[in-house]
Amino acid sequence: MMEQSVFDNYLKDRFEKEVNWYDTKSLHNAKWAKIYQVVIIILSVLTPVFAASGLKWQTLISSVLLSIAVGILKYYRFEELWQNYRTTCETIKKEKILFDARISPYDKSDDPMKMFITRVESMISKENTAWVQTVTKKEKKETKG
């Protein structure tokens, strides 16, 4: 059986920091995803209006800014990271609720603290793998482009 002090240290030094990190990163990526989406929507509406009005410079500038905004949104993958980080954050927070209430699978465990740490670390590891795949996809597109 794991000692309570070891488990408490894990909660303080690892679990809480990970929850805060994922929450902060999720909020950051959500903010930028929304900003770029709004910019894209606005420029998508303005560009044909400028073109129909015969405003060449405005059409050109609007088109260039639209392309830049779409490129930045796709390059930095704000939406994908937002979803990944939010999902991981909520999943590990839910795991703590299950642990505290001793709901399955913790109700039948001989060492629920050890099981909790193992499960949380597995979830964090899965998110890290997803992040590596996201970065790898981005790098492959860069080398092809």
| pLDDT tens series, the chain, 145 aa | 999 999 999 999 999 999 999 999 999 999 999 999 999 999 999 999 999 999 999 999 999 999 999 999 999 999 999 999 999 999 999 999 999 999 999 999 999 999 999 999 999 999 888 888 777 776 666 666 5
Residues 6+ apart with CB under 8 A from 71: none
Report the C-alpha gap between 72 and 92 in whole angstroms: 30
Residue ranges of domains in the chain: 4-144
Q: Long-range contact list for 13-22, CB < 8 A, 24+ apart? A: 15/92, 15/96, 15/120, 18/92, 18/120, 18/124, 19/89, 19/92, 19/93, 22/85, 22/86, 22/88, 22/89, 22/92, 22/127
pLDDT of residue 5: 96
pTM listed for this prediction? 0.84
Report the C-alpha gap between 94 and 98 in whole angstroms: 6
